[in-house]
Structure 1
């Protein structure tokens, strides 16, 4: 068999052949560098375009992930991690019409994860006749360290700037794989969904994509924005300097593993009452380079000064099950302090009368005034779902509706079956769809699941999601699936699609719970109403 060769701007690539969910042939090109290795003086800095290479580069194996811990808690990866994978049903010599492109941005709290083909296998989505791209980006402080001195060119958000450069690579090269650079959809889950939303809001990404799908995450989640943490990192690494220029030089000379171990000592948390130390920051405007994010996301949304592209945004029914395994748990089942559940952006100082009053209202609303660990595990999960995840997404959608010129489709994912990714991975037996449970139906996670039985719930869900998502990527309209009409949300009605064992449509999901959070939020800052 002849080698599978594709030519891109940097040089030639040798790929491999696979088969999709329907047994049809596809081509995969893995471990493609889209930027220079961000090492040495480029550590913490904005990415630079990749160098050319001579000869044919082997693109049959995944590139290195960013340094992080894997599911077994072992440190893996490298600073040299800016690679992407491309999967296509056909190559240009075989087709004349270019295919829609879907670019996947993985999650992992900005501290873990990668585009690994064993985790994000494209076989399901390729049945929709699209080109799939999955990308790596820098994680942890290597991707999100921020400093105040604009002359140092470390304003933060380097990991997001990696994504921008990857999208530029797609624009320049995807036609070589049969993809249409004028029809690109970005999609992601969890931290990847927040990244999708922030790319929508960022002037740096303007014109690089045309549709967006945000799964279980949004810019207005309490865990999205972080605070600059260079001094915290310097302190745990026993840096002898206080001047940022000297701190930067010190950090750039340390081995990457030492940087990572120092990051772990900083005590970052995903709890809603905690301002994260790792993640996106609002950059100080620099004369030397453009900012990825220079204003508060809510201000950008309300202004309408963002990319107006069709958007899908949705959530899983029991997002809060995430905290059953989260190492930095923000609750004790037997002794819950409900002040810990108050999102920090409500500015309710813990212990204050305002904070205690909110906590009391939460206990009354969710538990009838007296929390009981033996009775209220599911209601506790709903509280976690709402405070850490859902209300931030809900507020994002409502505020977008007030300014958006393009449709916004809302969904609820309720499937509770054998491919619920997060629950299977973490051996969770509680009912409902946990955070990231939808991933097992979008991607072929080869190491975790066996092949589906035809016409099973799992098989039907795989085919439904692939059809909905790829229809949207093609036209900006996810419909034409099983005679269900999924309407966009409006100012008066938040229409949504419930993706369960059947597809059903409804209006204003979790209305009473969201009204409760709206009333609390309005004590601090007014929000749009439905």
Structure 2
């Protein structure tokens, strides 16, 4: 039998799944060649960066208040940027320093080579191994700037992650493309998370602070004021910017007297600012943590300082997912109203006009909670869940809000109700309050690729980051984003980066984005009768357009709803912890 006969199948044509040895060998060779080409491409870029680093050696060596740091060159889309990774701004927060105010980083001798990112804050990995990553020595930040000597405005970025995960150097947030496209100095920071950063334990003992993570953020902003000029940044032109929990951090800092003067513009993307903890919540969750740690009921913070940090993170995860409180919008972690650093609920501070007097760019995505379409299978269960979500804050007005979403029985209405409760309604409330103080611009991100639309996911939470940061490949949904028009994605990215850059440089987005104006602000500032239409909202889609007072009926349905105090609709919880509140005040 000839070799050709051996490679045939009795004269039958081969199916697409049948491969000869030669074909497999050929494909292996092609794959190997492709891998080698990619490796050569990578080595070429590294060589370019290394050569530039050698040439720019002196400009990469910077003197900070704690000591000298030396950075590296990064190549992005054919351009070079200067980068300093893992600069410490705070000292170790472990052991006896746990749950206390952060301390500035210890000074060092000689030059610190900042070529590697610092450790992330302790956090879960959501793997079957129940593994915890990170270190309590996590107070580091990263600086990136264009490869020029210009004095540039500064962006300080606060990462998201539901107050429990995330870092300054997540692939999307490294800022290499953003700093080049927007011509800014970009600073991304780490801060404590979860039970170690966003849990007020003062009900256990007063030997701790209510808001460790917020204090970390303030320390980082103070570091920027003291050191950023050495990196070519303008300390008098700092924009605080964040998404999700990071957006809540920005708005919270706007209401903290301690942050006054530390930044001059604010960008809050998809901020769950209504989730700020009340005294009731902080007491509830402090006791729950003690319970999950299997400690005696009368334990103090000292017992938690002696425990392993990883065990605290695991216990914190257990109490968040296993007691059903998320069904009452009672998240374990958030900043806490302490009467000092955070004097009152941020929404109340905005309503009274006591927040920072700085320009604000704020907005949300249209399908923030699209995942919830698949949580409950029956209509009556969805409706009951919708009421339960809202009643924990305001039992009286919850039904009125749910009615505006047709009872929340339809999957899309239910998902939209949840998204609006968490993100849109609080953001609208912030915007309509802030227009009485300073210029405000509002957006709604609605763009979704064909694949995301087909899956019913739409413009999900955090999808706008691919456009703002200009790095589609860094998104966890990058494959779904690629299944669409690359031209649409590129044009939308250019548009959003233009508006964000304009705001960062000049305190306003492009001229085709009108300010958010209400009848109250029109009256206060004595605007002419022919003032622009109210509640202008830039809708980012293809094509983009401006809507005026979008979704008006649903906006109005939230007017009387009290989103300031979790627990008012939970008499069972209030009764259970009433004795714990005695003598405990902010």
Contact 2:272 2:422 in 1 (8 A): no
Residue 382 (structure 1) aligns with: 416
- Map Cα deviations across residues 452-495 of structure 1 (whole Å, 9 max, x no partner): 89961111222222111111011101115xxx243233336211
Q: Which residue of 1 aligns with 2:515?
A: 487
SS in 1 for 2:246: helix
Q: CA deviation at 1:294?
A: 2.3
Q: CA deviation at 1:254?
A: 0.8
Match of 2:434 in 1: 400
Distance in 1 between residues matched to 2:301 and 2:408, nearest whole Å: 51
Q: Does 1:440 align with 2:466?
A: yes
1:266-285 matched pairs, under 5 angstroms: 266-267=319-320, 271=326, 273-283=328-338
Whether the aligned pair in 1 keeps the contact of 2:122 and 2:193 (CA below 8 Å) is yes
Deviation digits for residues 256-302 of structure 1 (CA, Å, limit 9, x no counterpart): 11111111222367847333332111115xxxxxx321223233223
What SS class does the counterpart of residue 282 from structure 2 fall into? Answer: coil
Contact 2:408 2:414 (8 Å CA) reproduced: no
Distance 1:386 1:241, change over 3 A: closer
State the Cα distance separating 1:431 from its structure 2 match: 4.5
Q: 365, 368, 380: which is aligned to 1:316?
A: 365
Residues 296/362 of structure 1: CA separation in 2 closer, same or farther (3 Å cut):
closer
Q: Distance in 2 between matches of 1:470 and 1:20?
A: 18
Match of 2:387 among 339, 346, 356: 339
Q: Is the 8 A contact 2:372 2:414 kept in 1?
A: no
CA gap of 1:71–1:500, structure 2 versus 1, over 3 A, is farther
C-alpha displacement of 1:412? 0.6
Look up the match of 1:417. Answer: 449
* 1:56 is the counterpart of 2:111: yes
Q: 1:13 aligns with which of 44, 59, 69?
A: 69
Note closer, same or farther for the CA distance 1:217–1:332 as it changes in structure 2 (3 Å cut). farther
Separation of aligned partners in 1, 2:204 and 2:234 = 37
Q: What is the CA-CA distance between 1:393 and the residue it aligns to?
A: 1.4
Structure (1/2) with the larger helix percentage: 2
Distance 1:433 1:455 in 2: 16
Task: State whether residues 63 and 83 of structure 1, in contact with CA within 8 Å, keep that contact through their aligned partners in structure 2.
Answer: yes
**C-alpha contact 1:67 1:257 (8 A) present in aligned 2:** yes
1:236 counterpart residue number? 292
What are the Cα deviations for residues 19-55 of structure 1, in whole angstroms up to 9, with x where unaligned?
345x322111111111001112110111111111122
Contact 1:197 1:218 in 2 (8 A): no
CA distance in 2, matches of 1:281, 1:173: 29
Asked whether 1:505 is paired with 2:546, we answer yes
Q: Given the alignment, which residue of 477, 484, 487 partners 1:456?
A: 487
Cα distance in 1 between the residues matched to 2:551 and 2:312: 42
| Contact persistence 1:44–1:144 (CA under 8 A) | no
Which one of the candidate residues 11, 18, 27 is aligned to 2:82? 27
1:88 aligns with 2:145: yes
The structure-2 alpha-carbon separation of the partners of 1:252 and 1:502, relative to structure 1 and needing over 3 Å to count, comes to: same
What residue in structure 1 maps to residue 213 of structure 2? 159
- Note the C-alpha offset of 1:343: 5.4
Cα pair distance change 1:155/1:344, threshold 3 Å: farther
Deviation by residue 1:129-180 (Cα, 9 ceiling, x = unmatched) = 1111111110011002323369734231110110000000111111111100
Residue 211 of structure 1: which of 255, 265, 285 is its match? 265
Measure, in 2, the Cα distance between the counterparts of 1:445 and 1:114: 19
1:79 to 2:136 alignment: yes
Name the CA shift for 1:234/1:11 in 2 (closer, same or farther; >3 Å).
same
Distance in 1 of aligned mates of 2:448 and 2:70:
40
- The aligned residue for residue 528 of structure 1 is none
Pair member with larger Rg: 2
Distance 1:103 1:363, change over 3 A: closer
- Name the CA shift for 1:455/1:430 in 2 (closer, same or farther; >3 Å): closer
Q: How many Å apart are 1:436 and its aligned residue?
A: 1.2
CA distance in 2, matches of 1:224, 1:262: 19
Separation in 2 of the partners of 1:12 and 1:381?
50
Is residue 203–residue 286 contact of structure 2 (8 Å, CA) maintained in 1? no
Return the offset for 1:429. 1.9
Aligned to 1:250: 303
Provide the rounded CA distance (Å) in 1 between the counterparts of 2:172 and 2:335: 25
TM-score normalized with structure 1 length: 0.83
Q: Residue 389 of structure 1: CA displacement?
A: 2.1
Please point out which of 122, 137, 158 is paired with 1:105: 158
TM-score (norm 2): 0.76
2:226 aligned residue: 172
Deviations 1:106-130 (A, max 9, x none): 1111111111152313133221111
Distance 1:173 1:16, change over 3 A: same
Decide whether the 8 Å contact of 2:466 with 2:474 is kept in 1.
no
Which of residues 282, 288, 291 is equivalent to 1:227?
Answer: 282
Q: CA 1:521–1:146 in 2, change beyond 3 Å: closer, same or farther? A: closer
Report deviation, 1:365.
3.6
Alpha-carbon separation, structure 1, partners of 2:203 and 2:389: 34
Q: How much has 1:236 moved relative to structure 2?
A: 1.5
Q: 2: distance between equivalents of 1:445 and 1:249?
A: 45
Alignment RMSD: 2.9
CA gap of 1:384–1:454, structure 2 versus 1, over 3 A, is: closer
Describe the shift of the 1:31–1:122 C-alpha distance in structure 2 as closer, same or farther (beyond 3 A).
Answer: same
Superposed displacement of residue 417, structure 1: 2.5
- SS of the equivalent of 1:518 reads coil
Structure 1: runs of 5 or more not aligned:
285-290, 349-353, 525-530
Distance (whole Å) between structure 2 residues aligned to residue 521 and residue 151 of structure 1: 31
